[in-house]
Structure 1
Amino acid sequence: MPRPRNRDYAELRRELVDAGGRLLAEEGPAALSTRRVAQEVGVSTTAVYSLFGDKAGLVREMFLAGFERLAEAFDAVPRTDDPVADLLALGGAYRASARANPHLYELMFGRPVPEFEPDGETGERIRPTFDALVAAVARCVDVGAVKGRPDDVAVQLNALAHGLSSLELRGALGGAEEAEGVWGRAFGAMVRGLG
């Protein structure tokens, strides 16, 4: 039998997080165990315990990984001289992140693992994704393209993005091109309405 290839911690962490996310998304919370996740990746449960402590730690890391990936998508959006285009681009980044990580999306915004409740520290670690949206809205408010308090508007836009992502991931918006059209029309209408 060949020896398993060596992985660095970041690679192994990602593989375990993704395996846990897939099990949760495809088979539900009952399928999510440290043993099963380890089997999916081809490592011993010791690897899971050494990286995450226990199943609760694994679930927490899955949750955080989803938001880390969303933050990376937001960070990749260039800041231009057009704050409205930048705000719409953040919506596109949100959609792209959800589509790239559907196995983590429900854990990020739902409660498929009832015993998992993010603590204060976890909440602080995910806060920058919302702060990025508030900052983008504030730029739109500053140039008069959007009216309202940036925090309030950000909540509304976040709710729209979440709703559209949830529908798209469940196949309710049709194919990718149809869904892209729905996203464009919905965000365009909302931003115009906020002006």
Structure 2
Amino acid sequence: MPEQKVGRETVLDAALGLLRERGETALSARSVAQRAGCSVQPIYSLFGDMGELVRQLYGHARAWVAAYNREHEYDGCNAFESNGLSHLRLAREERPLFHFLYLSPHMEATGFEGVYESVVIDGVQQCIEELGRLSPEAARELYLDMIVFVHGMAAMLATGAQFSDEELHARMDRAFKGFVAMARA
């Protein structure tokens, strides 16, 4: 068998580019191959089939979002706010990618604990502990509540809602204060 000239990363990057531009429905062996500058043969030899390519693309896209979040980790007043703002920005600016990652069966969410573990960012829970003067357990619960709340707003943005940054920030702040009050009660 001749040596592959197109590697796994090249194919995944090509698929990610298509996904970000046109959504999951744009993904076919032919379209990915064209973007990667190869025939369809490397796609099948590297991944077996398009289903496996899409499964691996999910992890590749998650890694891209992790890098995106790191680029925006200082956009808010603290790590917690930056995390929420980054999720909202992703929903607004990267709609097809957001749909693929968070509004499709690919996420495979089977419970809130799994959701928490799949999106938690280092340092955010500690930030919540400090901001709310909460125990680690209470901060973890508040973080999960905020993940669910902010994701709801993000889903609305990803489907075309037109909220201003000020409105989004005010809602996040209000929810945080409410969740802190509940945690302290």
- Which residue is equivalent to 2:78? 85
Match of 1:34 in 2: 29
- 1:161 aligned onto 2:150: yes
- Does the 8 Å contact 1:17/1:58 carry over to 2? no
1:170 maps to 159
Q: Aligned equivalents of 1:117 and 1:128: distance in 2? A: 12
What root-mean-square deviation, in Å, do the aligned CA atoms of Structure 1 and Structure 2 show?
3.5
Following TM superposition, by how much is the alpha carbon of 1:7 offset from its aligned partner in structure 2, in angstroms?
7.3
The answer to whether residue 117 in structure 2 is matched with residue 132 in structure 1 is no
Paired position in structure 2 for 1:18:
17
Q: Which amino acid aligns with 2:87?
A: Y
Whether the 8 Å contact between 2:14 and 2:32 is mirrored in structure 1 is no
C-alpha separation between the residues in 2 aligned to 1:98 and 1:15? 21
8 Å contact from structure 1 (residues 48, 54) kept in 2: yes
Report the Cα offset of residue 71 of structure 1.
1.4
Unaligned runs of 5+ in 1: 1-5
Partner amino acid for 1:89?
S
Q: How many angstroms does 1:109 deviate by?
A: 1.7
Corresponding pairs, count = 170
Q: How has the CA–CA distance of structure 1 residues 99 and 44 changed in structure 2, closer, same or farther, with 3 Å as cutoff? A: farther
CA deviation after TM superposition for structure 1 residue 103, in Å:
1.9
Shift of 1:12: 4.2
Structure 1 pair 35–118 and aligned structure 2 pair: CA distance change class (3 A): farther
Could you tell me which amino acid in structure 2 is paired with residue 137 of structure 1? Answer: Q
What is the Cα deviation at residue 132 of structure 1?
Answer: 1.1
For each residue in 1:151-194, what CA deviation from the matched residue of structure 2 results, as whole angstroms up to 9, or x when unmatched?
322221111222222211222125xxx2x122211111112222
Identical positions, percent = 18
Gapped runs of 5+ residues in structure 2? 181-185
- Scaled by the length of structure 2, the TM-score of the pair is 0.70
Secondary structure in 2 aligned to 1:67? Answer: helix
Distance 1:37 1:20 in 2: 10
Partner of 1:96: 89
Q: Which whole-Å deviations, capped at 9, do the CAs of 1:124-145 have from their partners, x for residues lacking one?
A: 9x97762316x41333224544
2:183 corresponding residue in structure 1: none
Instruction: Provide closer, same or farther for how the CA distance between residues 52 and 153 of structure 1 changes in structure 2, counting only shifts above 3 A.
Output: farther
1:186 partner amino acid:
R
- Cα displacement (A) at 1:85: 2.4
